[in-house]
Structure 1
Amino acid sequence: MCRWMAYQGSPVYLEQWLFEPDHSLIHQSLSARKSEVTVNADGFGLGWYDEREEPGQYHEILPAWSDCNLKSLARHIKSGLFFAHVRASTGASTARSNCHPFGYKNWLFMHNGQIGQYEQVRWQIDRWIPEELYNHRRGGTDSEAIFMLMIANGLDENPANAINKTLQQILDLMREKGITEPFRFTSMLSNGKDMWAVRFSSDEHAPSLYYKQFGDHVVVGSEPLDLSGEGWQLVEPGHIVKVGIEHYNSQSLTVE
């Protein structure tokens, strides 16, 4: 399962959170502690906001720990809202187009989890995505398909409603197909101003999700970014959280 982190607050150089903590995301890519998969070596990606409305992105298929370009970028890019993701593939090929975070206009999205027996529902999910959106689909992951479907379901107007509607559609389709493997979904989304975190699973094993609020920033991640874990709060399963520097608004998902 993938590992990821998100930051919002006073602008910082990315290296401060990607490399410096004793259980940083780069460390987790080699030695994850709260995942079925210890090593996440199937590529990585960055997404960051600056003066422009659309976020910058960088994707690579090398393991995160071995790319000198990542070290240089993290040392020189400064941002007040950024995403980072290290990938452990659940079936789709190792390619830049399959590396998170995914972007569309001002939105960023990244995900940890999978749709059980995805190949049995892929055709139908793809056809729910309007043609003008589908033309922006670059890879073959279930993650990107979910993101495109959320946009189609009104992510711009009402993020919580779009998330609930999308998860329900997929669950209903899986039941219709008789799929018993779980749908596991822990994700992060941002429009450049706000961030939404989601922790969900159709079984009792939702992928881990933590957050920690500091004085002038908040960090969200698959795992605490320090080995002690002190001060990190676990997000409850089955919840959407609008998280920011001075707020943490959690609501239950309505999917059944």
Structure 2
Amino acid sequence: MCRHLAYVGPGEPLGRLLVEPPHGLYRQAWAPRHQRYGTVNADGFGVGWYAEEDPVPARYRRAGPMWADPSFADLARVVRSTALLAAVRDATVPGADQEAAAAPFAAGAWLFSHNGAVKGWPGSLAPLTPTLPAVELLSMEARNDSAFVWALVLARLRDGDDQGQALADTVLEVAEAAPGSRLNLLLTDGATITATTWGDTLWYLRRTGGGTVVASEPYDDDPSWQEVPDRTLLAASRTDVLLTPLKEPSAAPAPAPRKEPRT
């Protein structure tokens, strides 16, 4: 369920990354090519981006489908950014949270998205609630599994974990509590992108003109797109991508990370 994309690199109009590509996130809202679960991503969308000299990103989120919002298409045509995170949300059961349930979730300089689902939600993660400060639970933007996973990640970030450690530890904790969950997480601070693959697809592209895109699926047919193996932690900057295998809960230590060769 859901599709998401993050970018860091030279300044680009939002639409050049989200709307203009032949299979961009805009089109993935109704015609994804690699989505394994769900078919239509029409229950909300959002984009967060960073303005020059401001570390705190802006967000634009709506409860309806991306294709039905002409204001977004106009905004995406002229707003430029050197970093963004955007997502379209899979059609799901009705809820009261409306656009608050749409990624990206945000705190300070961070933007976050979850592509997947927590098995047995909400009961499966009830044992994890004592690990969160009360203020984190009370500050959740929405009452869905993605918002709770974000609360777990955010608590680790605020405790001083780096982005990779925060994502990896959260994935392993949730996977142990709720086996069979799909936990593709995506996080950016405006300078780097961190992501996990756990049960769904993820790809990355080092663009010819500079910059790195990380996305649920390619937005065009450029042969430079690289698929990320399942059970992997990805860390990317404008120029480099590092892949580290994730171990299963209670499994042996994972192999050493490898730096992807430049192409």
* TM-score, length of structure 2 as denominator length: 0.87
The answer to whether the aligner puts 1:115 opposite 2:118 as a matched pair is: yes
What are the superposed Cα offsets for residues 226-245 of structure 1, whole Å, 9 maximum, x if unpaired?
Answer: 1x352210001111111122
Distance 1:61 1:101 in 2: 13
SS in 2 for 1:242: strand
Residue from 77, 82, 85 that aligns with 2:84: 82
The structural deviation recorded for 1:210 is 0.6
Structure 1 residue ranges, 4+ long, deviating more than 6 angstroms after superposition: none
Specify the code of the residue in structure 1 equivalent to 2:233.
Answer: I
- How large is the RMSD of aligned CA atoms in angstroms? 1.8
Query: Residue type of the partner of 1:58?
Result: Y
Equivalent pair of 1:92/1:140 in contact (CA under 8 Å): no
User: Post-superposition shift, 1:143?
Assistant: 1.0
The answer for unaligned runs of 5 or more in structure 1 is: 175-179, 201-205
Q: CA deviation at 1:92?
A: 6.4
For the Cα contact (< 8 Å) 2:163–2:187, is it kept in 1? no
Q: Does 1:129 align with 2:132?
A: yes
Look up the SS of the partner of 2:10 in the other structure.
Answer: strand
Return 63-72 or 147-156, whichever deviates more: 147-156
Distance 1:61 1:17 in 2: 21
Please name the residue that 1:158 is paired with: 162
- Output one character per residue of 1:72-101: Cα deviation in whole Å (capped at 9) or x when no partner: 211121100001111014446261110001
- The separation in 1 between residues aligned to 2:197 and 2:105, in whole angstroms, is 18
Mapped contact 2:168–2:233 kept (Cα < 8 A) = no
Count of residues in correspondence between the two structures:
244
Q: Is the contact between residue 209 and residue 223 of structure 1 (CA under 8 Å) also seen in structure 2?
A: yes
Question: Following the alignment from structure 1 to structure 2, what is the Cα–Cα distance between the partners of residues 127 and 19?
Answer: 42
> What are the residue-to-residue correspondences of 1:1-256 with 2, within 5 Å?
1-35=1-35, 36-50=37-51, 51-91=53-93, 93=95, 95-154=98-157, 156-174=160-178, 182-200=180-198, 206-215=199-208, 216-226=210-220, 228-256=221-249
- The one-letter amino acid paired with 2:76 is A
Deviation at 1:57, TM superposition (A): 0.6
Q: Between the two proteins, what is the percent identity of the paired residues?
A: 29
Q: Kindly state the Cα deviation for residue 20 of structure 1 after the two structures are TM-superposed.
A: 0.8
